[in-house]
Every structure is written in C-alpha cells, then in structure tokens.
Amino acid sequence: MKKSILIIAIIGLAMNFSFAQKFLCRDGHVWFFGTTPMENIEAHNKQASSIINTETGEIVVSVLMKSFEFEKALMQEHFNENYVESDKFPKGKFNGKITNLNEIDFSKPGSYTAQVKGVLNIHGVDKEYEIPVEMRVDGETINAQGKFATSAEDFKIEIPSVVRDKIAKQIDVNLNMSFSPYKK
C-alpha cells in the first residue's frame, strides 16, 4: 500500500517535470512614460529578466531600477535618488499568473490575449495589477507585449509640490519581451 503511493507520487513528480515547460527572457524591454504640458518623462530598460511557466501559467518579471535610462541625466538621478530610492530598493519585481490559461495553446502558433494578474513590487510596496498581454506564439518562441497604467502614488513615492506639475500623474508602463524555451 505504502509502496504504491510512493510509486504514484514518483510518477506524478516525473510527469510534472516532463510537462513543465519554462520559457525564459533575458533581454526584455520595459519602458514607461508620463506626459504633462511641461515635460515628458520616458525611460527604457532593455535588460528585464522573465520566466513563463506554460504549464502553470505563472509569470515572473524582474528588473533592476538602475538599468532604466532617461534622456536627461538629471531626471535619471532624481528617479534613482529621490523617487524609487534604488539604493534601498534596487529591484522591481512582478509575480503573476495567467488567469485564462485554458484559452492559450502554447504548442500552437498564433496570437493570444493572456490576462495576467499579479503583484508588482516597486519601492518596497506591493500593488496588484491585472494586465492584458498579447502573446504571439511562433514555433519555439513566445513574444509578449503589454501595457498598463501606474502612478507614483501606487508605490508610495512622494513627489515634492514644487515639481508635482511637471511629473505626470499617470505613468504608462510598456513591455515587449521575447522568450525562448529553457532546455537542459
């Protein structure tokens, strides 16, 4: 009796491993911008890391705040030192899950809209988001593109009143990532 349970458990584990399919991205492009009549703010990070588990629908995205590049050095400095405090909180991290996994066939080429629900942590603050992500499955690779709106308030980032008019209330975050299967 005990033995059979053990065997079933081992088989189950083995099946899990053979089906678990992970797709990786190490050069994802994440960028954000906010516009006000005074000034446009735009920053790019082309070194986002991400893993999609097509079996469970889990998605993890991680970026380093210091890798965001602004056109103006001064903005970059303010972003790092005063707003996201990247010395204290060097990473931005998203942990989420595809909620409509049954509508996506990662083994069949095509375009799918994945509803990704999860928690984004920036500046040490958690905030939940639901993001529609366009997934283009093409042979062995997956391209994911998405966009969602955030604000400094979401992450308890205080903006001094002197510059408040210069910094947009709504910050749009965009992502474009290409994943390839993890083989090993």
- For other proteins, the binding residue among 21, 36, 56, 76 (CB under 8 A) is 76
* Site track for other proteins across 23-62, x = CB under 8 A: -xxxx-x----------------xx-xxx--------x-x
Nearer to other proteins, 1 or 73 (CB): 73
Residues 173/30, Cβ–Cβ less than 8 Å: yes
Interacting residues with other proteins between 115 and 144 (CB under 8 A): none
Residues 155/127, Cβ–Cβ less than 8 Å: yes
Which amino acid is located at 1 in the chain? M
Residues 42/71, Cβ–Cβ less than 8 Å: yes
Residues 133/146, Cβ–Cβ less than 8 Å: yes
Nearer to other proteins, 42 or 99 (CB): 42
Helices within the chain (DSSP H only):
2-19, 73-78
- For other proteins, the binding residue among 64, 101, 149, 159 (CB under 8 A) is 64
Q: Is 9 helix (H, G, I), strand (E, B) or coil?
A: helix
* 63: contact with other proteins by CB under 8 A: yes
Q: Which stretch binds other proteins (CB under 8 A): 65-73, 107-115, 124-132, 146-154?
A: 65-73
* 66: contact with other proteins by CB under 8 A: yes
- For other proteins, the binding residue among 3, 74, 161, 162 (CB under 8 A) is 74
* 72: contact with other proteins by CB under 8 A: yes
Cα 123 from Cα 92, distance rounded (Å):
8
If phi > 0 it is left, if psi is from -120 to 50 it is alpha, else beta; for residue 84 that is alpha
Q: Which residues pair with 134 in a beta bridge?
A: 113, 145
Binding-site ranges for other proteins (CB under 8 A): 24-27, 29, 46-47, 49-51, 60, 62-64, 66-67, 72-74, 76, 86-87, 90-91
